[in-house]
Chain A
Amino acid sequence: MLRFTVRRMLQAIPTLFILSILIFAWLRSLPGGPATALLGDKATPEKIEALNHVMGLDRPLWEQYLGFLGRMATGDFGNSLISADPVLAEIGRCFPATIELSIVALLIAVGAGIPLGYLAARYRGGVLDNLTVGVSLIGVAVPVFFTGLMLKYVFAIQLGWLPPSGRLDPQIDATHITGFAVLDGLLTGEYDAAWDATLHLILPAVALSSIPMAAIVRITRAAVLDVLNEDYVRTANAKGLDARTVRGRHVLRNAMLPVSTTVGLQIGLLLAGAVLTEKVFNWGGIGSLIAQGIERHDYPRLQALILLAALVYVVMNLLVDISYAIIDPRVRVR
């Protein structure tokens, strides 16, 4: 098991290395550049050239890349061209917000998606089944920002039940430790802050969870239906197990294999959804960093962010593979 894990981790290194080359080349192949973006309308070719020289962007691409690689090895991803802060510091400031949002969204998606998918399969053809399948189709088809806007309009603006945007009421003076607003509130005993942060979380998290939840519902339903028809479920019945044991030990456990793959992949996609959701709810996570970075051609920031996203994705896939080996003896490498 340990060997399997270590081997998979080592395999991730070339993936990230190749990706770093691709990102580097891709960003610099985009039309325009940071100098044009910084100088705006007043740009003259001379000024752009001068600024490029200052930023070292006039040197050959391979030289720039080697420099980037060398600094990255020492943990230096460069400074943002917009704020002049170290990129890692920026990310460290904004990432907890995104993680908090993503984790809650994922919990909603898994916590509601698996039971719903299971019930839909168990009462196949029933009202619940048709309803879940229909709604999950809509969930997959409607983009996150639209779901977000609709939720905001109905629950925040029309009904006024929940705050429309932000992470915390500005009037609440909360202490920050981890950057996770709810966790901070609980740790410091500022329960009013924790509660307020929770309320702020609900709408964006629900919006962000809509697509992964729909995917999880559909996969769970399909997987359970598949397993229900398996011979070993008939064997389990023939053994004389009671129906609950058959469902729990044989049906659900085996159906979790494809579901765990989907959950892992959805975590990767969650980051993309988070960028859009954060925009709608003015969340202040890495979504705004990315959006701003793309507008202004902020190479260092984008390089770091995309590599980070890739790292998250690779780690998630690794976790899925490991979980596979844990739950399915057939996958185990000897």
Chain B
Amino acid sequence: MTNLVEIEDLKVHFPIRRGLFVDRVVGHVYAVDGVDLSIRRGETYGLVGESGCGKSTLGRGLLRLTEPTGGRMVFDGTDLATLKGEDLRRMRRRMQMVFQDPLSSLDPRQSVESILVEGIRVHGLDKGVDLGKTLRDLLTSVGLPHGSLRKYPHEFSGGQRQRIGIARALAVRPDLIVADEPVSALDVSVQAQVINLLEDLQGEFGLTYLVIAHDLAVVRHIADRVGVMYLGGIVEEAPAHELYTDPLHPYTRALLSAVPVPDPVVEDRRERILLTGDLPSPAAPPAGCRFHTRCPWKQATRCDTERPRLRAVESGHKVACHYAEQIRSGELRPHSVEPELVPELVLDP
């Protein structure tokens, strides 16, 4: 399998402006700070991390919906970072996004038909095809009744709205779909339907997915490979099954240990890692390993001075931790962590 997407050292920094009369830049929020990531054609890459870790910004930066500060995003051989104007606009057809909030991301004044047709028209996909049939096929694919075309987004339920959002993305026949928290705004009962729909569509249309989520269960279900993000960087990347059974990075271990196990015997015995302290501000990320302020395996050397690179521990399993092998073998044991005060830097998002 070849790579459809290759991200190298992607950075998205937001300037913080202050000033009474004249705004000046007093700092940056390092939302995404040096991410390498590749997505193979036809696979589903799951990106997990807690709120504010930069996973949504990574998705938007990849599609240049937010302008990246640096780095390369190669999509099917073309560097997106260098594309301009009309070329970028044409390229957008091939990489679509499904947004978290299905209502606010749809123009309230457009009927479903208009929402779907707009993208088709602007990319010239309506030439020589039966538009009515295309639209009906789209609705069938996402499981909406044909009568939906004349309705407006507010007339649908949450799950149906997300189906409209998916149909909208599909309408221009993309190769890549970035799904940013596609189900987190939905009821649990509806989440599974939408996740299954996404899986079915992948097979039907040969899509490649980047699924961004904070819900580990969602990602586990849908993703082939999973990347874990912490404070603007990827700390671990592995095939989904491996990541969940053999997490190497202390942060991943802590995340997974927070998921309850539906077996009372195991649940009582298993080791739980509770993180102390708050998430450091992305405007003043800690030096060295970003996680060292909260890491129960933090060592006296290297951790607070040298930022670990994402390195392959075994084939396909990458981790950004200096001591991953020792932690895995049990040579290093977790210790208690004094909560470190996060320096007060009030930021308006």
A residues at B contact (CB < 8 Å) = 125, 230-232, 234-242, 245, 249-250, 253-254, 327-330
Contacts and interface: CB of A to CB of B under 8 A. Distances in A.
B113 to A, nearest CB: 12
B123 A240 contact: yes
Contacts of A249: 118
Contacts of A236: 107, 118
Contact of A242 (B89, B101, B106): B89
Given A125-B23, A328-B108, A329-B152, A238 B97 contact: yes
B101 to A, nearest CB: 6
B259 interface: no
B172 A329 contact: no
Contacts of A245: 122
Contacts of B332: none
Interface of B: 23, 60, 63, 65, 86, 89-93, 96-97, 99, 101, 104-109, 111, 118-119, 122-123, 152, 154, 165, 168, 172
B122 A242 contact: yes
Q: Taking chain A's interface residues, is the majority helix, strand, or loop, or is none over half, making it mixed?
A: helix
B99 A234 contact: yes
Given A234-B99, A329-B152, A330-B154, A240 B107 contact: no
Contacts of B63: 238
A254 B90 contact: no
Given A239-B168, A242-B86, 16 more contacts: A230-B104, A232-B106, A234-B105, A236-B107, A238-B97, A239-B119, A240-B89, A240-B92, A240-B122, A254-B107, A254-B109, A327-B109, A328-B109, A329-B152, A330-B108, A330-B154
A239 B172 contact: yes
A230 B99 CA distance: 12
12 contacts: A232-B104, A232-B106, A234-B99, A235-B97, A235-B106, A235-B107, A236-B107, A238-B63, A238-B65, A238-B96, A240-B123, A249-B118
Nearest to A239: B119
Contacts of A238: 63, 65, 92, 96-97
A138 to B, nearest CB: 19
Given A240-B119, A240-B122, A240-B123, A235 B93 contact: no
Given A125-B23, A238-B63, A330 B119 contact: no
B180 to A, nearest CB: 10
A328 B90 CA distance: 30
A329 B92 contact: no
Contact of B108 (A234, A240, A242, A254): A254
Contacts of A241: 89, 118-119, 122
Nearest to B86: A242
A240 B65 contact: no
B155 to A, nearest CB: 9
Contacts of A232: 104-108
A238 B107 CA distance: 13
Nearest to A330: B154
B169 to A, nearest CB: 8
Contacts of A330: 108, 152, 154
A329 B105 contact: no
B262 to A, nearest CB: 35
Nearest to A227: B107
B86 to A, nearest CB: 8
Nearest to B97: A238
The 5 closest A-B pairs by CB, nearest first: A240-B92, A231-B105, A231-B104, A232-B107, A239-B119
Contacts of B123: 240
A327 B109 CA distance: 7
A245 B106 CA distance: 15
B122 A239 contact: yes
B77 to A, nearest CB: 19
A241 B111 CA distance: 17
Q: Tell me which of B86, B97, B172 has the highest count of chain A C-beta atoms within 10 A of its own C-beta.
A: B97
A239 to B, nearest CB: 4
Given A230-B104, A232-B108, A254-B107, A237 B118 contact: no
Nearest to A238: B97
Contacts of B97: 235, 238
Nearest to B17: A125
A278 B149 CA distance: 53
Contacts of A230: 104
A57 to B, nearest CB: 55
B109 A239 contact: no
A254 B109 CA distance: 7
A229 to B, nearest CB: 10
Nearest to A234: B65
Given A234-B65, A245-B122, A240 B105 contact: no
B26 to A, nearest CB: 16
B332 to A, nearest CB: 44
Contacts of B92: 237-240
B107 A329 contact: no
Nearest to A250: B107
B109 to A, nearest CB: 6
Contacts of A235: 97, 99, 105-107, 165, 168
Nearest to A240: B92
A230 to B, nearest CB: 7
A253 B23 CA distance: 31
A185 to B, nearest CB: 41
Q: Tell me which of B60, B107, B172 has the highest count of chain A C-beta atoms within 10 A of its own C-beta.
A: B107
Contacts of A231: 99, 101, 104-105
Given A240-B172, A329-B152, A330-B152, A253 B118 contact: no
A234 B106 CA distance: 10
A237 B99 CA distance: 13
Nearest to A230: B104
Nearest to B155: A329
